Structures are given as C-alpha cells and as structure tokens.
Amino acid sequence: MNKPTALATTCALVLAAVGLSACGSPEQPQVEGPAPSPTQARGPVYVSDTLGHPLTRPTGFGLTEFSSVSGLSWRSWGAAKAVATGRLRGMWCIPHCPRNGYPATIELSRLQRRENVSYYTFATVRSAHLPPRDTDDLSAVRLPLPEP
C-alpha cells in the first residue's frame, strides 16, 4: 500500500471510531412543563384576496381565481373564526348567474401570525345555490399568506 492510501485509510478509521464513540447519550430527551398554547391574534387581523392584498373586514374580495364574495356583513372578526353573510359569484354559474350572485355564508379560520399582525388562511363558503360539483372547491379554500 502506498503512503497516501495508507494515510487516508488510517484517517477514515480514526474518524469512524470518533464518530461512533461518546458523541451523544443514548438516553431519551426529557420533556418538562406544559405544552405551549397556540398564539392568539395580536394586532390587526387581515385576510388576503387572490392578489395578496391585505384586507380587514372587507365588503367583498376575490376568494379564488374563479369565485368572489361581495356584500359581506361580518358577524365576527379577529377571533379564531370570522363569519359573514353576503353574496357569492363564480365562473361556475355563467351564463345563468343572478346579477348580484347567490346568498352565502363565509367563514374564515386558521389564523397565522406574521410579525405584528395575523392573517386568516382558510375559508369555507356555504350556499344552498352552489352546484354540488363546486361545493368541495369552496368548502376548503386556502387563502394567500404573505411571506415573512
């Protein structure tokens, strides 16, 4: 064996021995104390429209690229869930949509903090006039969240 190969082999064996010995304890980590509670919303609370604009208690906004809500009247805002009633319109009802859309209830949830504000990141829309094939699309809408 030549010297560079013998030296490399010796170094590899020494490193392997060091790596396998006393680098850590085989014991399990100890967990103490209560789990942290979920963060509460502090500061302003927003919802982002499809273009990423932050809105607070909006009267209307683009929910998805194919549907929007308007005429919103908020029953709650700023808590874990925000609830409003209003009108729903979408590409799914063209050409038979009523001019001002269908009555609907929208619920925003899953608050996420970004620095000193919070954003709703999930929406559920309920409407008796929503076609069954589109119900799933609007029962679990992920809303845009600005990058930190």
Q: Which has the higher per-residue pLDDT, 27 or 25?
A: 27
CA distance 136 to 96: 21
Write down the pTM of the prediction: 0.69
pLDDT digits over 70-113, tens only?
999 999 999 999 999 999 998 877 888 888 889 999 999 999 99
123 touches 108 (CB < 8 A): yes
Across the chain, mean pLDDT equals 80
- The helix/strand/coil state of 86 is strand
**Under 8 Å between Cβ of 119 and 140:** no
At 138 the pLDDT is 84
Domain ranges in the chain are 45-142
pLDDT beyond 80 at 18: no
Residue 13 has pLDDT above 70, yes or no: no
